Amino acid sequence: MRRLAIIPARGGSKRVPDKNIRDFCGRPMIGHILQTAKASNLFDVIHVSTENDKIKRVVESLGFEIDFDRPEDLADDYTPLMPVLKFVTEKYVSLDQTFDQVWLLMPCSPLIETIDLLAASKLFERHNGEYAVMSAAVYSTPIERAFTCDVNGSMTPLDAKALAIRTQDLEDKYYDAGAFEILSSKDVLGSEDTVATEKYLAYVLPKFKSIGIDDGDDFALAEMIYRGYHHTSV
């Protein structure tokens, strides 16, 4: 079983400048998932997909070689991830390296541990690769109780009837936690545009591991969680 881990890390982050390589609790952000992936001993190749020389230098300083760069036309703000995975997988095929599994590991996932990757791997293989595996999380509050809010602050429920239902009587809803995915190489190579498969199994993360780091507040919160979880002041 050969596994390829792809970590997409383009430059140009706007809301959190240099987010992928910004110091996070004493280590470049991307260094956390790189070390976790390496420690899992799951992967034959760990590839950081970037077009950015600064990111490339940081990754290489951490001891990880980058075999080839990402093309500029796959590195803008609107490029979905699936074409990137397909490009990398096809490039390795052209270099006579083939894989059974392609893993997408997101660079800003410092709370993911080796136990998560190992457990997700078992889940994927238990179903013989018939289903992709997605890191998922439960919405912390029922989405049925969502409101819209206009410019004046006036709130309108999306479903007024749902407000009368007890929260414990509403079924949990899940979302893509944005930490990792496992796909068969066949699905990636056969993908078109943004979709490789619609058949997913959930690897459900606890709430504290599923924080999305999209702005400065998220970054600070993730650092607080990391320090508390790892009992460190760094």
pLDDT digits (tens, 9 = 90+) for 154-163: 999 999 999 9
In percent, the amount of the chain with pLDDT more than 70 equals 100
Six-digit token pair at 20?
């992928």
pLDDT at residue 195 above 90? no
- Angle formed at CA 170 by CA 127 and CA 134, multiple of 5 degrees: 25
Q: Which long-range contacts (CB under 8 A, 24 or more apart) does 69-72 make?
A: 70/8, 70/10
- Whole-angstrom distance, CA of residue 193 vs CA of residue 215: 27
- The pLDDT value recorded for residue 7 is 98
d(CA 48, CA 70): 9
Contact present, 132 and 181 (Cβ < 8 Å)? yes
For the chain, give the percent of residues with pLDDT over 90.
91
> Amino acid identity of 37?
A
Q: Evaluate if residue 233 carries a pLDDT over 80.
A: no
Query: Is the separation of the CB atoms in 221 and 211 below 8 Å?
Result: yes
Mean pLDDT of 99-114: 98
What average pLDDT does the structure give for the chain? Answer: 96
Better-scored residue on pLDDT, 85 or 192: 85
Domains of the chain plus CATH, in order, are: 3-136+174-230 (3.90.550.10)
Mean pLDDT across the stretch 70-94?
A: 95
Residue range 23-74, pLDDT digits in tens: 999 999 999 999 999 999 999 999 999 999 999 999 999 999 999 999 999 9
- Over residues 5-19, the mean pLDDT reads 93
- Taking the C-alpha atoms of residue 106 and residue 33, their distance in angstroms, rounded to an integer, is 8
pTM above 0.75, yes or no: yes
pLDDT of residue 69: 97
Spell out the residues 6+ positions from residue 219 whose beta carbon is closer than 8 angstroms to its own.
Answer: 16, 19, 22, 24, 213
